Structure 1
Amino acid sequence: MTRHTRPQVTTNPAPPDAAGLRAFAENKIGYTITVHRRRDGWRDDEPAQIVAVVPSRGHLCWLVEYTGGGTDVIRIDDPTCHYTLQKALVDSPLRRSQENH
């Protein structure tokens, strides 16, 4: 019998300073993110994989890819956005390539 461990789950723990926010954001590449209670309601409660950290409209954001192939940009420090992060059970090839450079 193998022992299963639960993935790490966090909710909006982003540090307030810019350097800390970028480090936090880059550390989450490869994680699964689920956004809850979005203002626009688009893809509410649908899990996606964080694939990159990108700037958008003057804010640091995650570029995410949904299972069906759609993409979105999610602002990391948006106080009105409630999200849950889960560590990926399998490492992302993109994350591994970034760690090797």
Structure 2
Amino acid sequence: MRWNLRMKAAEAGIWKSTEMRRRLAEAGLEISAGKMSALWTGTPTTIRLDDLDVICAVLECEPTELLIREPDKVAARRPQKTAEATGGAVVTPRFGRHRSVPPA
């Protein structure tokens, strides 16, 4: 995912994180300077849905405009499945009686 906060803020005429922080406070979301800086300069690893809702209300946008999918990055993370990786053999799962017994 790509975090698009700065672009959406710029489209709304907000050029500084302090202005964004002030508008969020007016909308009922008090946010620390450190957290605002992290949201403004990078991609957050987590964000509360309530906070995202207020950010979207301030910027008059949808969450999909702030969180942009990057399918190419997802595809790049998948392990390559080739015949060479499996030794040329097709791997099939074993079902039925060949399961291991759980520890006692």
TM-score of the pair, normalised by structure 1: 0.26
Task: Say which structure is richer in strand.
Answer: 1
Determine which structure has more spread, i.e. the larger CA radius of gyration.
2
